[in-house]
Structure 1
């Protein structure tokens, strides 16, 4: 299972690895290709976009290829067999 982990950066500026996604002087950016390494060390090709909501900048980053693993999470009561 791949995991992105909890972001450690408190802010993203133009010098940050995701700095190319920032919509400086714009409301949004076009989809931008980037490479992301997860906590497992696996590399993922992704597309990223950013949206400026006046109060926040939202980053949307998604893989361009299907992920190799899957997980199904169920509430504890569904895990018991009758």
Structure 2
């Protein structure tokens, strides 16, 4: 486990303390949970970007065209 010291404006610190208290958490645990959520979102974004870079746009459009014709009965 690492120790990280960050500087925040007093107002932000007060708001984080209030938020943590309202959730029954320590500020440390609140920041840990918020960090985990932010990292999960970042990982998801990177995964989609990687998949998109490997995709074939024309093939995707062909599949969508086939799906569209199946739903319209063409």
| TM-score, length basis structure 2 | 0.22
**More helix by proportion, 1 or 2?**
2
> Rg: which structure is higher?
2
| TM-score, length basis structure 1 | 0.21
**More strand by proportion, 1 or 2?**
1
Greater RCO (CA < 8 Å, at least 6 residues apart):
1
